[in-house]
Amino acid sequence: MSDRALTSGQAVSVRRPEPVKEWAWWSASLLLVVALTVATWWLNKTVPTWNRQLRVIEFPVYAVLLGLLASGVLSLFGLRERLGAYFRTEFFLKTGLVLLGATINLAEILAFGAKGLLQAVILISSVFFFTWCVARWLGVEEKLRALLAASVAICGVSAAITAAGAVLAKKEQLAYVTGLVILFALPLMFLQPVAAIWLNLPPDVAGAWIGGNIDTTAAVVGAGTIHSQQALKVASITKLSQNALIGVVAFLLALYWVVVVERQPGGHPQGRPSAWEIWERFPKFVLGFILASVVVTAALSQGWVARAAIRDIQHLREWFFMAAFLSIGFGLSFRGLCEAGWRPIGVYALATVFNTLVALAVASLIFR
Amino acid sequence: MARERATSKRLTRFFTEDWLAVVVGLVLVTLVLAGLLRNIP
From B41's Cα to the closest Cα of chain A, the distance in A is: 6
Cβ distance A295 to B39 less than 8 Å, yes or no, reads: no
Cβ distance B29 to A91 less than 8 Å, yes or no, reads: no
- Chain A residue numbers touching B19 (CB-CB < 8 A): 284
Q: What angle do CA B28, B34, B40 make, to 5 degrees?
A: 55
Residues 301-320 of A with CB under 8 A from B: 304-305, 309, 312-313, 315-316, 319
From B27's Cα to the closest Cα of chain A, the distance in A is: 10
DSSP codes, A15-45: HTHHHHHHHHHHHHHHHHHHHHHHHHHHHHH
Cβ distance B40 to A316 less than 8 Å, yes or no, reads: yes
- Residue A299 contacts B where some CB pair is shorter than 8 Å: yes
A193 vs A83: CA distance, rounded Å: 46
Closest by CA to B28, choosing from A252, A5, A318, is: A318
Closest by CA to A84, choosing from A304, A367, A329, A257, is: A329
CB pairs below 8 Å between A and B: how many? 78
A219 vs A55: CA distance, rounded Å: 8
In this prediction, residue B3 carries a pLDDT of: 63
Cβ atoms of A347 and A181 within 8 Å: the answer is no
3-state secondary structure of A80: coil
Cβ atoms of A313 and A102 within 8 Å: the answer is yes
A94 vs A75: CA distance, rounded Å: 27
Cβ distance A292 to B24 less than 8 Å, yes or no, reads: no
Helical H segments across B1-41, by residue range: 2-14, 17-33
B19, B25, B35 ranked by CB distance to A99: nearest: B25
Cβ distance A284 to B22 less than 8 Å, yes or no, reads: yes
- The structure's pTM equals 0.74
Cβ atoms of A251 and A222 within 8 Å: the answer is no
- Residue B27 contacts A where some CB pair is shorter than 8 Å: no
Cβ distance B32 to A41 less than 8 Å, yes or no, reads: no
Cβ distance B32 to A309 less than 8 Å, yes or no, reads: yes
- Residue B15 contacts A where some CB pair is shorter than 8 Å: no
Cβ distance B28 to A99 less than 8 Å, yes or no, reads: yes
Give me the numbers of helices (H) and strands (E) for chain A, helices first please: 18, 0
> What are the contacts of A293-302 at 24+ separation with CB within 8 A?
A293/A101, A293/A102, A293/A104, A293/A105, A293/A106, A293/A247, A294/A106, A295/A102, A295/B29, A295/B33, A296/A102, A296/A103, A296/A104, A296/A105, A296/B29, A296/B33, A297/A105, A297/A106, A297/A107, A299/B33, A300/A105, A300/A107, A301/A107
Residues 82-121 of A with CB under 8 A from B: 88, 90-91, 93-99, 101-102
A268 vs A227: CA distance, rounded Å: 56
Phi, psi of A34 (to 5 degrees): -60, -45
Q: Nearest-CA residue of chain B relative to A306?
A: B33
Mutate to test the interface with B, among A316, A320, A327 (most CBs of B within 10 A): A316
A236 vs A244: CA distance, rounded Å: 12
B18, B29, B37 ranked by CB distance to A94: nearest: B18
pLDDT (tens, 9 = 90+) of chain A, 368 residues, equals 444 444 444 444 445 556 667 888 889 999 999 999 999 999 999 988 888 777 777 788 899 899 989 999 999 998 888 888 888 887 898 898 899 889 887 776 666 667 778 888 899 999 999 999 999 999 998 899 999 999 999 877 888 888 888 888 888 888 888 888 888 887 888 889 999 999 999 998 999 999 889 887 778 878 888 888 888 878 877 887 787 788 888 888 888 888 887 765 544 545 566 777 677 777 788 888 889 989 998 998 888 888 888 899 999 999 998 998 888 888 877 776 677 778 899 999 999 999 999 999 998 988 77
Question: Which distant-in-sequence residues (6+ apart) come within 8 Å of B20 by Cβ?
Answer: A91
Cβ distance A91 to B17 less than 8 Å, yes or no, reads: yes
Closest by CA to A165, choosing from A89, A242, A245, A86, is: A89
